[in-house]
Amino acid sequence: MSTSIPRENSFKPSAAPSTWLGVMGGGQLGRMFTHAAQAMGYKVAVLEPASDCPAGHAADHLIAAAYTDPDALIKLGAQCVAITTEFENVPAESLSLLAEHTFVAPTASCVSIAQDRLAEKKFFTACAEVSGVLPAPHQSIANASEIDALPETLFPGILKTVRLGYDGKGQVRVKTKDEVRTAFEHMNHVDCVLEKMLPLAYEVSVLAARGADGLAVVYPIAENVHRDGILFTTTVPGPNVSADCAKSAQAAALEIIHRLGYVGVLCVEFFVLSDGSLVVNEMAPRPHNSGHYTMDACVTSQFAQQVRAMARLPLGDARQHSCAVMLNLLGDLWFANDAQLATEPAWDKLLALKGANLHLYGKDDPRPGRKMGHVTFVAEDLADAQKQCDAACQLLGIEA
């Protein structure tokens, strides 16, 4: 575990000279982080290969360069008092180089575990000594010759690439060893892991945040629904989540974040099985899609929490003040009713719904499956928030 850093070494916002925070990655998470940091008085620099990107539109400075460009990394490190990442596939080596010049949170060692499914499962297994929450049964596959030795107890299963998988990418459902061989070949024989499919009741995620001083907070447990591997809705509090399940998931997330010595916001995803037992699935070393509801329903949003953690400030209050249902808005909406040309959805009608909070990401190229924004419905009663979300789906032509 990393050594705690006293709060007197915090990076407080300043107007003159400006206090700069840095973000590796120019997507929507970087954009929303930028908004939160600017609201707290910071200036933000973003390093991103694409010059036209959501975070770059909002940031005070965009460095358009590869994540591995040493000159760009040194420039970012010299400008910023602290740097974070907005997605887990930024090379860990780049974070290590940045750490030679400035404070980096989370560290390269934390991010590298999340970048490797086998390392991640090994770490979760070690944490289970305290948390009691294990990952699903699994086995690694480094070459085709290992497929014959796979135990039948892992079938049916999901074959996943060890690295670079997200939003359902890099994984295939398989029922036999022959299907594993075919899938492994289509994945170009990269390192994979076969994970046993379990009787899933529903999926949940837990946002935890840990400061440089070692103190941590945990947000309410969120219940998630996915479609085609992409998050569809997040509901908080989860309508199916028991008090015992929530307590176990939150305790496991806190064990994981403390054992990592992590600084920043961490999302841990879990499966709840049909018998009520809990299985840890994966973690994301950054703010997460399932945590967007915190922007409208919690005292401190996940993005403001990330700013506080990386600036070594006291963490914010993670309490939820309103029930919430978050609905992802994908590029498919621009092509409703088989339209050939992209047509902007009726945001005015959406915003007329009670409790609607619309967040668009500034992307001008809608494509099916691309995350273009989200809308969160907040209410005093969860049934009211769900009712408004259902109305939004009907309005936008989404099958509820």
Whole-model pTM?
0.94
Q: pLDDT tens digits, residue range 220-274? A: 999 999 999 899 999 999 999 999 999 999 999 999 999 999 999 999 999 999 9
pLDDT score, position 202: 97
How large is the average pLDDT for residues 377-391?
98
1 pLDDT higher than 70: no
User: Rounded CA gap, 207 and 262, in Å?
Assistant: 13
pLDDT score, position 169: 65
Amino acid at 283: M
How large is the average pLDDT for residues 86-92?
91
Q: Give whole-number Cα distances, 203 to 157, 276, 297, in Å.
A: 17, 11, 20
SS3 277: coil
How large is the average pLDDT for residues 133-145?
96
Question: What architecture does CATH give domain 200-396?
Answer: 2-Layer Sandwich (3.30)
Token pair belonging to 337: 């009713």
137-196 CATH: 3.30.1490.20
Token pair belonging to 27: 């997507």
Task: Name the pairing type of β-strands 230-236 and 222-227.
Answer: antiparallel
**What ranges do the domains of the chain cover?**
7-114, 137-196, 200-396
pLDDT score, position 397: 94
SS3 353: coil
Q: pLDDT tens digits, residue range 320-378? A: 999 999 999 999 999 987 778 999 999 999 999 999 999 999 999 999 999 999 999 99
pLDDT score, position 2: 46
389 pLDDT higher than 50: yes
Phi-psi region of 24 (alpha: psi -120 to 50; beta: other; left: phi over 0): beta
Confidence of residue 164 (pLDDT cuts 50, 70, 90): confident
Q: Across all residues in the chain, what is the average pLDDT?
A: 95
151 pLDDT higher than 70: yes
165 pLDDT higher than 70: no
7-114 CATH: 3.40.50.20
